[in-house]
């Protein structure tokens, strides 16, 4: 991976190259960005540049033996760690390394949903477990095979639980010529003990113009279509590509139908829907709830008279307008968002999905059909 292959982020590229030129590379760095901004490709390109045998002024050469191995992610001194779904056959990240390599080779811009689709996730939750932490310590205790610097790139350290504390000593006092790069999306979910031992490199969202140009050049979209997709993606290149490929999931239709069932007090249909959603698996359930929260926030903008700020595509926009005109008011939208956020919190903590979604469904009936708001959500809007 060379810097030239990364979309945008020119200032960050120059900043990273400058750290090498000035010999001030921190041994533990946290690349912090929102999804789809290119943090993982930047981390790989940075590691490749550091170990390149014929560095250029603004990039690695791409042709030396080190670069050729980096391009295929088979360099013996390049290590990856990432969330995975443990089982009797999968104990550490190395056990799914072939799947990881093939995915990064195909497209280094991906998120947890895409990675999950490559694995046998079933109803399990991904994490970086204690066995993986011990394997990291073991790998980094060896001398470098070829390169001057050993590199460990950890994607999504947010999935480290308290077991991550076992890495503190090796991060604080690493073996000679060892570089840790953590690639994260959410600073608040990272262990504070880990966070305090890293130098944070903040990577901004991609500008709309950059995403727009990429979509026109790569997919041949018209300017109007590229502008619409870049606006909807809001700097997330992964989401922009999904819009182009028209591979968005069915959350929009399912959530709209859930609201209709609540408004119609269709209890039997709601119980059948709860049975269906209970079998989706926790990650899909969480994504469904996140979509609902985002959708209702857009409805709140409509209700506040700020339609020009709404970022919903055509059919979802029509649904939001009908709801905002005939069904919802701001306090009701607020109350439903609160219920969905609480549900998301409990799903992450292994709540029984059937009980949880049945409770939320009944709350929808109370709020939408009978306009009975939970205590504490009655607001006066001017």
Gap between the Cα atoms of 181 and 178, Å rounded: 10
For strand 178-184 and strand 28-33, is the pairing parallel, antiparallel, or unpaired?
parallel
What is the pLDDT, as a whole number, of residue 352? 94
Gap between the Cα atoms of 252 and 373, Å rounded: 24
Q: Are 343 and 360 in contact (CB under 8 A)?
A: yes
pLDDT tens figures, 230-266? 877 788 899 888 777 754 457 778 999 999 999 999 9
**Cβ count near 264 (within 10 Å):** 13
370 contact partners, CB below 8 Å, separation of at least 6: none
pLDDT tens figures, 116-172? 888 876 667 888 999 999 999 999 988 888 988 999 999 999 998 888 889 998 998
* Structure confidence at residue 351 as a pLDDT band (50, 70, 90): very high
What is the pLDDT, as a whole number, of residue 123? 64
- How far CA 78 is from CA of 123, 288, 294, in Å, comes to 31, 36, 38
Mean pLDDT of 31-57: 93
Query: Is residue 297 classed as helix, strand or coil in its secondary structure?
Result: helix
Is the pLDDT assigned to residue 369 strictly greater than 70?
yes
């Amino acid at each position: 991976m060379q810097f030239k292959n990364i979309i945008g982020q020119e200032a960050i590229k120059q900043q990273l190259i400058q750290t090498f030129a000035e010999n001030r590379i921190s041994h533990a760095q946290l690349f912090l960005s929102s999804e789809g901004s290119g943090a993982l490709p930047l981390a790989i390109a940075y590691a490749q540049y550091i170990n390149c045998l014929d560095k250029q002024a603004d990039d690695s050469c791409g042709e030396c033996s080190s670069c050729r191995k980096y391009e295929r992610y088979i360099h013996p001194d390049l290590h990856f760690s990432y969330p995975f779904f443990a089982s009797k056959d999968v104990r550490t990240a190395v056990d799914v390394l072939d799947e990881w390599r093939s995915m990064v080779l195909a497209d280094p811009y991906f998120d947890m949903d895409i990675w999950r689709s490559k694995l046998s996730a079933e109803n399990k939750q991904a994490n970086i477990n204690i066995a993986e932490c011990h394997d990291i310590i073991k790998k980094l205790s060896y001398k470098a095979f070829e390169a001057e610097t050993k590199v460990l790139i950890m994607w999504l350290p947010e999935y480290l639980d308290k077991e991550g504390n076992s890495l503190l000593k090796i991060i604080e006092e690493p073996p000679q010529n060892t570089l840790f790069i953590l690639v994260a999306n959410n600073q608040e979910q990272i262990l504070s003990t880990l966070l305090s031992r890293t130098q944070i490199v903040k990577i901004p969202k991609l500008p709309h113009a950059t995403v727009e140009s990429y979509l026109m050049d790569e997919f041949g979209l018209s300017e109007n279509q590229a502008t619409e997709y870049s606006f909807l993606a809001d700097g997330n290149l992964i989401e922009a590509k999904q819009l182009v490929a028209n591979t968005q999931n069915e959350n929009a239709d399912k959530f709209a139908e859930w609201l209709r069932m609540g408004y119609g007090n269709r209890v039997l249909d709601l119980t059948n829907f709860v049975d269906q959603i209970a079998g989706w698996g926790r990650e899909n359930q969480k994504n469904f709830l996140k979509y609902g929260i985002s959708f209702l926030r857009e409805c709140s903008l409509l209700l506040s008279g700020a339609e020009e700020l709404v970022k919903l595509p055509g059919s979802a926009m029509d649904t939001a307008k009908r709801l905002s005109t005939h069904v919802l008011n701001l306090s009701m939208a607020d109350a439903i968002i609160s219920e969905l956020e609480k549900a998301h919190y409990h799903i992450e903590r292994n709540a029984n999905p059937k009980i949880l979604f049945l409770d939320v469904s009944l709350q929808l009936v109370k709020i939408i059909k009978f306009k009975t708001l939970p205590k504490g959500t009655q607001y006066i809007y001017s």
